[in-house]
């Protein structure tokens, strides 16, 4: 069975898709069999969402509309899970609020 999915999400985290969020993002992407890609513009270029080197190279700062697309097994779930992670600010806001 082959599926595909695509979504766009606004990066609200203070410094964008930076080191630690990228670690979380790529680790989550790797849990899906589907081929997952990200881009900072609708027409690409597209980067492998499972490669931290590629995701960091996208250099997506706060306010970027991040495009996520997936193809293959679990594509829909993969896109949804990654969008959720970005919307939760990579589960980092709680840590930051405490030390602020």
List residues with catalytic annotation: 18
The order of strands in the sheet holding 65-71 is: 4-10, 65-71, 35-39, 47-48
Planar angle of CA 28, 47, 16, nearest 5 degrees: 65
Beta pairing class for 35-39 and 65-71: antiparallel
C-alpha span between 75 and 82 (Å, rounded): 11
Site for another protein in 31-60 (CB under 8 A): 48, 51-54, 56-57, 59
- Site for another protein contains 16 (CB under 8 A): yes
Query: Smallest distance, Å, CB 24 to another protein?
Result: 10
- C-beta atoms surrounding 47 within 10 Å: 19
Query: Smallest distance, Å, CB 81 to another protein?
Result: 18
| Cβ closest to another protein, residue 5 vs residue 17 | 17
| Cβ closest to another protein, residue 22 vs residue 34 | 22
- Binding-site ranges for another protein (CB under 8 A): 15-16, 18-20, 22-23, 26-27, 48, 51-54, 56-57, 59, 61, 95-96, 98-100
């Amino acid at each position: 069975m082959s599926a595909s999915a695509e979504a766009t999400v606004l990066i609200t985290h203070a410094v964008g898709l930076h080191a630690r969020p990228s670690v979380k993002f790529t680790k989550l992407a790797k849990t899906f069999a589907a081929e997952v890609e990200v881009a900072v513009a609708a027409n690409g270029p597209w980067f492998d969402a499972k490669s931290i080197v590629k995701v960091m190279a996208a250099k997506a700062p706060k306010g970027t509309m991040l495009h996520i697309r997936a193809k293959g097994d679990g594509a829909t779930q993969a896109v949804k899970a990654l969008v959720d992670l970005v919307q939760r600010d990579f589960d980092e806001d709680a840590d930051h609020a405490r030390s602020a």
